Amino acid sequence: MSVQFKIHQDTIDQVSQKADIVDIVSERVVLRKSGANFRGACPFHNGTNATALTVNPARQMYHCFNCEASGGAVKFLMEIDKRSFSEVVLDLAKRYNVPIQTVEPEKAKEIQRQISHRDRLYEVMALTTSFYQHAVYAPQGRAALAYLTEKRQMSKDTIQKFQLGYAPAGWETLMGYLVQQKQIPISLVEQAGLIVPRKTGNGFYDRFRDRLMIPIHDTRGRVIAFGGRSLGDEEPKYLNSPETELFSKGHVLFAMDKAREAISKSDQAIVVEGYFDAIALHQAGIEQAIATMGVALNADQMKQLLRYTESKNVILNFDADKAGITAAEKAIAGFKDLVFNGTVQLRVLTIPDGKDADEYLKQHSAAAYQDLLKNAPLFLDWQIDQILAGQDLNQADRFQKSSQAIAQLLNNLPVDSFFRTHYIHSSAQKLSQGNSYLALRLEQDLRRQLRNTRWNSNKPAPSLTTTTNALHIAETQLLQIYLHFPQHRAYLYDEIAEEENIEFTQSNHRYLWQVILNLLQENKTSLAPEEPYPDHLVQQLQIFCAETEAVAQQLQHLLWLDENSRIGLLRPQIVVRTAIAKIQYIMCEKHEKDWLDLFKTKDVITNRAFGYECQTKAEEARQRKAEIRKQIEVNYLDLSGTSTNEKNVIEF
């Protein structure tokens, strides 16, 4: 809708007064109460912070502390829907029953016409839905109803919930109902995608004939399109509505209107391939399921889905046959970057015996399906298994092809992550088929291959880690382990207490550590607690920092541990020793530099004793660095099997 007139300021003021920012934002973002405000994930950038966006009902404003997006209800809708100011104001005026005034009163009729056009399309779709619903219970719809209740084993409640229906076999049945009985202009029915112009002569015919009809809803529950399944041998088996003013298949996910609350509650989204897979899951009480629209998922659809899950946990459940695996790979292609950079915690579920979700639930319980979900592998594990499936690794050409494909896959991962280290190690184990000597050699080869290629990203390959970054990584690992692995808190504290000059140097880390100490003191809990561990600590910190907006952004990577970070910390004791050694190494490096700088700035000719002391201290620091480096190499060997000759694994 293009608005070519100026809206009167009185209308704008009334819309601003009546529009509720919480209602509007909550339609697009899962909001949770936080004191006097509401918080949620920001829909305007790719961040993973589930509390970055603050919505203030008193001021009727929203603000993101990551991307700095802010404004009121009108601006929010303008930004998220990419619509003009006038279009948004008119939409809100209709929603809140605000009379529309323009600077030129003669334009009022034109305004009403443009506003009502989309409403009339929605009305046509609603009438059509009712028509199809009525037809499925009529004698002519007997076969369609039997298909639903007998073959698909759907209850009447499910049929009603999803408004399933039947398109009669006649060429002009629906058109006659809408145009002749309901007096809907034929042009409007065509714009809704329900009829098709005849190729020869004048006139139109129904797009959907003798098909089981599945309405497609927007997130507000309004019907915007249909999917029609043939009941016989007619092709195509599934026929969808064309692109219309209401419907764009690249922006819609089937059943999202019914699934978003369950996705938020379970903190998990299940993506299936077909309409009936999603419907069957909902009928089984697994209501966090949505279906694709016959196209590959794109990044925009995935971002839409991620608004409702804090941990960004998405499970892709496509058919286990070759076509299903191909479809899964195609679906993933549109948002692979979100997976590799850790934004999406993507898992892939392929049901045994090649079944889809609908078929599986006919023979198994919902609890059995939930067990499959729990054991679904991460995307990278699944992808590696697909590469190795059916390959005889004892044949040189097959072995080489498989190892090269795995190296190409792992090259997508950031180079400075234990996540990458984990997959290098596990891939080498799989390729070696249990040969420990071969596994070690393969791991070295994989590291060498990956080190000689650039990280597959739009950004340039990162340089060697700077001292500041090394400190940040090491301190981050120590805090993550203390917070999220309570069984290792006593060990970590003992390690830190036994070492000299071990303290948090990063300001945000020092702040968090002091907050931890204060909370433990208030709770009268030991810093190195014995059983039972205070598992409520992380929750307390999350609440505390969510209320402290200035530090929420800097600490969210510590307080909300994603799957990638958790994998990187699978062996906490070794990670702790390595992190402490890195901090010691950097401190020694600083001492060495300080003594050498002091040597250069003083007159050591007249004060030879002082010059000798500077050189001695610098040499001691240098020797200590060499000892620590050896220890780090040993730790890396324990962690991933890397040879101690691989000097480059230590990133300083």
pLDDT value, residue 113: 65
Final residue of a structural domain among 103, 129, 162: 103
Q: How many Å apart are CA 208 and CA 169, to the nearest integer?
A: 8
312 DSSP 8-state letter: -
- If we measure between CA atoms, which residue out of 69, 98, 245 comes closest to residue 89? 98
Mean pLDDT (whole number) for 414-426: 76
* Domain identity same for 587 and 536: no
Coil/strand/helix, residue 10 = helix
Mean pLDDT (whole number) for 111-119: 70
Q: What is the pLDDT of residues 141-200, one digit of tens each?
A: 999 999 999 999 999 999 999 999 999 999 999 999 999 999 999 999 999 999 999 988
Q: How many Å apart are CA 132 and CA 150, to the nearest integer?
A: 19
* Domain identity same for 268 and 359: yes
Is the pLDDT at 47 greater than 70, yes or no? Answer: no
Final residue of a structural domain among 186, 217, 247: 247
Mean pLDDT (whole number) for 410-429: 80
User: Residue 324 sits in a domain of what CATH number?
Assistant: 3.40.1360.10
- If we measure between CA atoms, which residue out of 632, 622, 623 comes closest to residue 652? 632
- Residue written as token pair 């092809």: 401
Asked if the structure places residue 384 within a domain, the reply is no
Q: What is the pLDDT of residues 52-66, one digit of tens each?
A: 788 888 778 898 878
Give the global pTM.
Answer: 0.62
pLDDT value, residue 641: 43
Asked if the structure places residue 389 within a domain, the reply is no
* Domain identity same for 127 and 197: yes
> Which stretches of 389-488 are DSSP H helices?
396-410, 418-432, 436-451, 467-484
Q: What is the pLDDT of residues 336-345, one digit of tens each?
A: 777 887 778 8
The more confident residue out of 392 and 341 is: 392
Around 337, how many Cα atoms within 13 Å sit in the side-chain half-sphere? 11
pLDDT value, residue 652: 42
Final residue of a structural domain among 343, 376, 409: 376
Asked if the structure places residue 534 within a domain, the reply is yes
* Domain identity same for 133 and 177: yes
Asked if the structure places residue 577 within a domain, the reply is yes
The more confident residue out of 55 and 577 is: 55
Q: What is the pLDDT of residues 199-215, one digit of tens each?
A: 887 899 999 999 999 99
Asked if the structure places residue 387 within a domain, the reply is no
User: Residue 23 sits in a domain of what CATH number?
Assistant: 3.90.580.10
Asked if the structure places residue 457 within a domain, the reply is no
pLDDT value, residue 460: 38
pLDDT value, residue 339: 81
Domain count, the chain: 6
H/E segment holding residue 620: helix 608-640
Domain that holds residue 524: 467-568
Pairing of strands 211-217, 223-230: antiparallel
* Domain identity same for 289 and 355: yes
* Domain identity same for 280 and 237: no
The mean-pLDDT minimum among 24-38, 253-267, 276-290, 459-473 falls in 459-473
List the Cα angle 646/491/643 in 5-degree steps: 10
Is the pLDDT at 382 greater than 80, yes or no? Answer: yes
CB 267 within 8 A of CB 310: yes
User: Residue 133 sits in a domain of what CATH number?
Assistant: 3.90.980.10
